């Protein structure tokens, strides 16, 4: 019974990992209030003139109702997935970081799940015991994928903050990829706890 639960957990985790790395994990939007934008434009024009020019501009602004404009203008929009972040890092010549993110968020999780699935399907023999030791070694990196998600979110938020100004209001929302990847982490942990792998022999 426990073996079938392990297999089921692994299959679910694999099914969640694919959308978890391909679908957007974070969407960052930046908007500018129309009335503040109009006011900023008037302020810029007024700086080039004298006090009289400023007064005239303010008067025309009030007459035209520019100070009472409602609504916002979308000025920045960034949606990114884990796979997209790896590609963007590589395109920006951050090859080492791209390789680390790809390794710990895509390669190792996929390899670990496939090896666990193979382990559950094999009869008890010497190869299965060696495979169990390999899985134990990979399990030591089980929390790195969570750290990678935090790193990607920080990277995207940092880029957005660098583009923000006094008028730009930023708003961030987690995408469906974030929830898929979070669910993958939960089922991967469940699968690891259900699978009994041999302990590494201690050296005397």
Nearest CA among 196, 10, 16 for reference residue 114: 10
pTM: 0.69
Residue 173 covered by a domain: yes
Residue 10 covered by a domain: yes
Place of tokens 């670990």: 112
User: Would you call 51 exposed, middle or buried from its count of C-beta atoms within 10 A (0-12, 13-18, 19+)?
Assistant: exposed
* Each residue's pLDDT tens digit, 140-165: 776 666 666 666 666 666 555 555 45
* Each residue's pLDDT tens digit, 14-28: 999 999 999 988 787
Residue 134 covered by a domain: yes
Range of the domain at 26: 2-33+72-194
Domain count, the chain: 1
The two most distant CA atoms of the chain are separated, in Å, by 92
Nearest CA among 157, 183, 165 for reference residue 27: 157
Distance CA 2, CA 126 (A): 21
CA–centroid distance for 144 within its chain: 14
């Amino acid at each position: 019974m426990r073996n079938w639960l392990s297999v089921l957990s692994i299959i679910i985790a694999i099914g969640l990992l694919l959308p978890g790395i391909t679908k957007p994990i974070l969407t960052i939007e930046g908007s500018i209030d129309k009335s503040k934008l109009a006011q900023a434009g008037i302020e810029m024009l007024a700086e080039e003139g004298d006090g009289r020019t400023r007064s005239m501009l303010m008067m025309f602004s009030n007459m035209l109702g520019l100070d009472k404009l409602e609504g916002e203008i979308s000025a920045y929009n960034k949606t990114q997935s884990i796979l997209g972040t790896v590609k963007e890092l590589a395109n920006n010549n951050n090859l080492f970081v791209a390789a680390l993110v790809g390794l710990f968020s895509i390669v190792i999780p996929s390899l670990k799940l496939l090896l666990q699935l193979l382990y559950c399907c094999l009869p008890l023999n010497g190869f299965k015991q060696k495979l169990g030791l390999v899985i134990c070694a990979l399990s030591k990196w089980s929390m790195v994928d969570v750290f990678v998600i935090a790193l990607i979110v920080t990277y995207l938020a940092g880029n957005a903050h660098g583009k923000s100004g006094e008028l730009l209001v930023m708003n961030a929302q987690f995408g469906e990829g974030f929830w898929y990847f979070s669910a993958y982490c939960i089922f991967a942990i469940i699968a690891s706890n259900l699978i009994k792998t041999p302990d590494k022999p201690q050296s005397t």
